[in-house]
Structure 1
């Protein structure tokens, strides 16, 4: 089934990464530049290296191997976890995890990794930092409210919090400006098109363009919806189990949250989304389920607009049905 000369499973952590080949024994390397070079020297031609998406830790190795023309696949950790559970494995070590990743790749068709451009990489870093600052700003605002409720017994604390809030606002504004400048360098036209969709805000449009590489990573809207994790999962079995439909939640959490927030606005200003929301609610379904459906609709509209190269037009139905 496997079309590669040899497949390697990599379990990566902060300091080291463990490697298990389909035809070679277990090895361990340092998770640094020297370790990457040492690992590269052991790889036969036409090999495939498979690793889990582990936030920060997998990124440098994946980029290094890709730039050295090694075939790489970065897979969803949940998929590997389910695979291990299916095998009823009782041992969990870095070595066993590397072997499990290798076995998973041998048993499944895994997607090949495409390296991020410098602009994409910086944009994703900026979004992560923006998330961190937004959470800190919310916490600071809550603390300020608490101090005001107490009657501000400590002026020093209150002034410090106000100063911190001012600093965070300035940093957040700077990040927003940098993100906008970076995306405009490469995707100005697409950014303008996406923001014509009622309900899609500038921040969501920016993030959509960055994580989809200008929508070039996906051939259909369904693939994009699956990536975001905004497709419904059905829970039915026999005549007794009739669970509520839910979104899969296996995908990009940040983008999913942004789209869900956009759905509120789309229900008021996007005719197609408004009609969809009312139709679902009138059937007796929950408002949350209706908002999820609207978020899904928004994503499909965005995909259609990006692929067609035409601005949003509610009367042009064929564009919005593009898959």
Structure 2
């Protein structure tokens, strides 16, 4: 089926031949009527579009399987000069019958819901950032100096903002942006509560929170993108899935040239991993030592991306082996978990009842955990102190002795 917003083109593949079956409307009633005419042994192939998951849910009870194809890879495999809906549907059927159809993984209902929540939160944050940038641009356009307070949009910053000499239309625009910013803040709080409630009973998210630099937003975003870790046979597969693998160009007997990261995959998960890498680079531990080592050779931007890739590999090992991070800081992890509970709407603990998260408020315990992390960082530095970069093979051949080359 080549599906669109309002209709879908249907082609049957039977005994090596294609048979055109016309169009059906993209409504639940029409799809259910179409599904009742199919056999339980039939298989339906569609491309990944905005409504493909809804089509899959409606047709799944009537057939053996609903396959969702990757449109980018389908286009790369079968590029036709004549492109119609009928040709596209026939291409999907032929590729699947030949075993060449590139499929995508279909998430379960809980993972799909988490993906929607994470995507909506991302859009709200982007909208808030755009509004803040517009207000900064208004101040810059009228030569207003920087705000002396830490945050322009807190109570003190807003009082300072409304005292600035601006034209009346600019003042009205700032007031309108501030009202929109407050409304988006309320939406963001509701989304954070829904995300936290869905993460309370998820052991995988709690396991990712043991990693330095990973907070609830990053952990839920990664698990929403990953879904079932069992579908990745190796950490390199997960690295490629989020687009942190380098591009490679090689032909014939020439040397392979490695370029920038591919950025092919889930861009939101990749952005959160880079954000977590910047946070992990500021905290003591082996991850900080790794960042410093790469930064000395390639600069801080490359080091941040390299650390994001290492975090991806680390997440794969933790989720696959079902183990917590070895150098986790217990008080910090307990504080993260307690913050997640409060964000989900759990009641606060009053009186003399003190949970494990209270240890993070004791400076002596925080310093002790920080000391252990610093010792782990020094151990990593001693471990890699004698590492040397492996030279290319052609340089190795050029340094061979004359007797070895004869």
TM-score class, shorter: 0.7 to 0.9
Map of 1:175 onto structure 2: 191
Map of 1:132 onto structure 2: 123
CA contact (8 A) 1:71 1:113 kept: no
Farther off after superposition, 132-141 or 41-50: 41-50
Deviation (angstroms), 1:242:
6.8
Matched, 1:50 2:64: no
2: CA distance, partners of 1:82 / 1:240:
25
Matched, 1:163 2:176: no
Call closer, same or farther: CA 1:270–1:223 in 2, change over 3 Å: farther
Call closer, same or farther: CA 1:146–1:94 in 2, change over 3 Å: same
CA contact (8 A) 1:190 1:214 kept: no
Q: Deviations over 1:208-249 (max 9, x none)?
A: 222333535434323322322222221233588975523233
1: CA distance, partners of 2:181 / 2:231:
38
Deviation (angstroms), 1:110:
4.7
2: CA distance, partners of 1:276 / 1:267:
8
Map 1:198-209; keep pairs closer than 5 Å: 198-209=212-223
CA contact (8 A) 1:50 1:72 kept: yes
1: CA distance, partners of 2:266 / 2:52:
17
2: CA distance, partners of 1:312 / 1:68:
44
Map of 1:40 onto structure 2: 35
Alignment partner for residue 92 of structure 2, among 85, 101, 107? 101
Q: Which runs of 5+ in 1 are unaligned?
A: 1-9, 316-323
CA contact (8 A) 1:15 1:31 kept: yes
Equivalent residue of 2:263, what SS?
coil
Matched length: 299
2: CA distance, partners of 1:274 / 1:142:
31
Map of 1:80 onto structure 2: 74
CA contact (8 A) 1:29 1:38 kept: no
Map of 1:221 onto structure 2: 235
Task: Please give the TM-score of this superposition, normalised by the length of structure 2.
Answer: 0.66
Call closer, same or farther: CA 1:296–1:113 in 2, change over 3 Å: closer
Deviation (angstroms), 1:71:
0.8
Q: CA RMSD in A?
A: 2.8
Deviation (angstroms), 1:203:
0.8
Equivalent residue of 1:245, what SS?
strand
Structure having the higher Rg: 2
Matched, 1:231 2:223: no
2: CA distance, partners of 1:113 / 1:131:
22
Q: Deviations over 1:22-47 (max 9, x none)?
A: 22422321111122123313433423
